[in-house]
């Protein structure tokens, strides 16, 4: 099974990468350079010293010698320390600062040289202690330096942290609007196996076209010597689930080159210019590790034709992102070795500048697989699922026409889930059959219907099945059930024996007759019409509209397309009102003719209808063989 896509390295990085070597760690530059750092350090140092000066008691206030003598005489001095004429001291009781604010206990003063007082005698008389150490113990130079530098260091560390956050694109508006440092590509885990063409099946013709890309990436010199240039872009177009993304990864894995995958919607932001910046970053990363592959999924998100009025003068975010992609692709040279792959299921709405030669100049259509392709896909998705001996993958492939690779993978997974719920050691044929019913018909509903409604449902489904059995060239009936599934009260499943690629008018009329069989049976047996035919009528309307308005199967409308195939295009813009009225009348004519035929056939085969309904009421579900046996019809007797 295919390896899971590696996770993103960053949540705001709109792409993943695999197989890319890790780049050297970029040196982070501080915003403003080292000059700004030194200037900031000086400013913080000054501020720190000013702040510390408010918290440092120091030597206390400097008082006059007269005030000091007064305090000594009053006996309010407890101890002093003198060095030369400078005196430090401490009072017993607080005193107001002379000519100042606040109180003080520690102080400094200066003894005048001309003083002739007997200071020592007074100090001795008042029992003042004359210390040998300073009254105020001053901090050492190293302690003062560390205390003054501590706030500055904290601020610098905070500043460095913020600067790094901003430089990595995670620092608020500056990181969001500015250019982000290119991220480290995500590497596959050690020993992990990359996706190759061995993991892809059912689309061999597409593999053949993409083998050219693989060969170019492996042997670019041979192409240069021949003067050949590979397409700069390859567009994978097809319905959802057909394996476009898997193919792109397989190309990169087969060539052994780095693979960058992104969803187009991941580039779009509210702020104009961010998407374009991310595109530049993605392509810059790819060029660094070239040869490489850049894959953009759902490119129609940003690649729609411009000038449709969706933006404001061509300068909205989506169009700027598209313009940047166009510029990047046009700027490639043959020696860069970077190939762009893109996927879309709406190739018809892409901008012409995107699909012109020189950009996405090769379009590869990826269609649902045929029967052999479905069998190969089933074998890939069941490689790690234990299968019982009765499992026939060829039969499963034959009964799943039109299913894509993703749907087949889901089918295999549903069968495995059923086997686990049933405490089995392997997936059996019954598990696959039940899983197919769940995928195609919906999950069973525990609904108890009244007997009369249950009988009406049995005739409704029998009408579908019987007309399908009677129509020449119709798809065989595979299963009939009156067990409620999904939104339906009953289901009739018909699938062809082989894939069909073109439909005749007779076949389409048979489809309409079969779809109307439920309503016709209710009218023949009960004389009523119920709401149970809603989905049938939707199917009938779509087929009849295509026959009359798109496929030229009406003589009155003629051989022209009056109704657009694009459901998103406004209905009626491609034809005149009179033509649309004619289409509407022809649709009604076709449906009415088919309904009359359905009523006639059911009346002619009423016994078979009753027998089939009775078998349904008894068994609730009839497989193909039992259904044909109950109706008294053998497959060999049907007209082809």
- Residues known to be catalytic: 461
Residues near 577 by beta carbon (within 8 Å), at least 6 away in sequence: none
DSSP 367: -
d(CA 313, CA 212) in angstroms, rounded, equals 40
Residues near 476 by beta carbon (within 8 Å), at least 6 away in sequence: 468, 494, 495, 496, 497, 624, 635
Query: Looking at the DSSP assignment, which residues form a beta bridge with residue 89?
Result: 80, 107
Q: 505, 547 in Cβ contact below 8 A?
A: yes
DSSP 637: G
* 142, two tokens: 């190293």
Q: 606, 455 in Cβ contact below 8 A?
A: no
Query: Looking at the DSSP assignment, which residues form a beta bridge with residue 83?
Result: 86
d(CA 584, CA 605) in angstroms, rounded, equals 32
> Smallest Cα–Cα separation from 169: which of 160, 180, 159?
180
Q: Which helix (H) or strand (E) holds 51?
A: helix 33-55
> Smallest Cα–Cα separation from 508: which of 537, 543, 558?
543
* 256, two tokens: 């052994």
d(CA 616, CA 462) in angstroms, rounded, equals 8
Residues near 86 by beta carbon (within 8 Å), at least 6 away in sequence: 108, 109, 110, 111
d(CA 619, CA 215) in angstroms, rounded, equals 58
DSSP per-residue letters across 248-291? HHHHHHHHT--EEEEEGGGG--SSTTHHHHHHHHHHHHHHHT-S
d(CA 91, CA 58) in angstroms, rounded, equals 16
Q: 298, 237 in Cβ contact below 8 A?
A: no
Q: 84, 35 in Cβ contact below 8 A?
A: no
d(CA 337, CA 334) in angstroms, rounded, equals 6
d(CA 404, CA 369) in angstroms, rounded, equals 7
Map residue 50 onto helix, strand or coil: helix
Q: 269, 316 in Cβ contact below 8 A?
A: no
C-alpha to C-alpha distances, 124 to 58, 65, 81, 349, nearest whole angstrom: 27, 18, 14, 107
Helix (H), strand (E), coil (C) string for 407-439: HHHHHHHHHHHHHHHCCCCCECHHHHHHHHHHH
Residue that is written with structure tokens 């894995």 in the block = 253
DSSP per-residue letters across 447-486? ----HHHHHHHHHHHHHHHHHHHHSTTPPPEEEEE-S-BT
């Amino acid at each position: 099974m295919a390896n899971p896509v590696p996770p993103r390295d960053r949540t705001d990085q709109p792409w993943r990468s695999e197989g890319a070597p890790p780049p050297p760690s970029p040196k982070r530059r501080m915003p403003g350079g080292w000059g700004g750092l030194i200037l900031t350090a000086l400013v913080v140092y000054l501020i720190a010293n000013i702040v510390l000066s408010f918290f440092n008691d120091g030597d206390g206030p400097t008082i006059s010698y007269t005030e000091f003598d007064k305090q000594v005489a009053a006996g309010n001095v407890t101890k002093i320390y003198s060095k030369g004429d400078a005196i430090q001291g401490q009072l017993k009781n607080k005193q107001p600062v002379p000519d100042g604010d606040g109180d003080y206990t520690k102080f400094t003063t200066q003894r005048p040289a001309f003083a002739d007082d007997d200071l020592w005698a007074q100090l001795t008389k008042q029992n003042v202690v004359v210390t040998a150490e300073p009254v105020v113990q001053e901090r050492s130079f190293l302690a003062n330096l560390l205390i003054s530098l501590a706030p500055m260091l904290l601020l610098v560390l905070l500043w460095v942290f913020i600067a790094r956050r901003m430089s990595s694109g995670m620092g608020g508006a500056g990181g969001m609007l500015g250019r982000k440092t290119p991220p480290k590509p995500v590497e596959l885990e050690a020993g992990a196996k990359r996706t190759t063409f061995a993991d892809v099946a059912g689309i061999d013709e597409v593999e053949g076209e993409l083998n050219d890309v693989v060969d170019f990436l492996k042997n670019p010199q041979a192409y240069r010597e021949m003067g050949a240039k590979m397409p700069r872009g390859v567009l994978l177009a097809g319905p959802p689930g057909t394996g476009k993304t898997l193919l792109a990864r397989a190309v990169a894995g087969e060539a052994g080159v780095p693979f960058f995958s992104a969803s187009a919607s991941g580039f779009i932001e509210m702020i104009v210019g961010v998407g374009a910046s991310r595109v530049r970053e993605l392509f810059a990363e790819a060029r660094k590790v070239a040869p490489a592959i850049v894959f953009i999924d759902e490119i129609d998100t940003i690649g729609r034709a411009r000038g449709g009025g969706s933006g404001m003068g061509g300068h909205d975010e989506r169009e700027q992102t598209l313009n940047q992609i166009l510029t990047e692709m046009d700027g490639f040279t043959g020696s860069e070795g970077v190939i762009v792959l893109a996927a879309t299921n709406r190739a018809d709405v892409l901008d012409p500048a995107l699909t012109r030669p020189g950009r996405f100049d090769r379009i590869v259509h990826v269609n649902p697989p045929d029967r052999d392709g479905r069998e190969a896909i089933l074998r890939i998705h069941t490689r790690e699922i234990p299968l019982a001996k009765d499992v026939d993958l060829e039969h499963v492939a034959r009964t799943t026409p039109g299913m894509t690779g993703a749907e087949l993978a889901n089918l295999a997974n549903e069968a495995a889930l059923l086997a686990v719920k049933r405490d089995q050691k392997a997936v059996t044929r019954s598990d696959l059959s039940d899983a197919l019913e769940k995928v195609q018909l919906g999950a069973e509903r525990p609904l108890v219907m009244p007997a009369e409604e249950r009988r009406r449902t049995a005739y409704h489904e029998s009408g579908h099945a019987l007309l399908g059995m009677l129509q020449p060239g119709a798809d065989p009936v595979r299963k009939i059930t009156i067990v409620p599934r999904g939104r339906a009260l009953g289901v009739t499943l018909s699938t062809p024996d082989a894939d069909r690629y073109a439909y005749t008018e007779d076949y389409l009329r048979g489809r309409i007759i079969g779809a109307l069989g439920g309503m016709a049976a209710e009218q023949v047996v009960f004389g009523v019409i119920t709401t149970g035919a809603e989905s049938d009528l939707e199917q009938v309307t779509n087929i009849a509209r295509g026959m009359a308005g798109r496929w030229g199967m009406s003589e009155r409308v003629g051989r022209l397309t009056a109704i657009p195939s694009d459901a998103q295009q406004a209905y009626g813009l491609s034809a005149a009102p009179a033509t649309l009225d004619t289409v509407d009348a022809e649709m009604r004519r076709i449906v009415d003719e088919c309904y009359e035929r359905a009523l006639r056939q059911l009346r002619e085969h009423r016994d078979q209808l009753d027998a089939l309904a009775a078998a349904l009421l008894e068994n609730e579900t009839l497989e193909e063989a039992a259904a044909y046996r109950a109706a008294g019809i053998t497959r060999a007797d049907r007209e082809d």
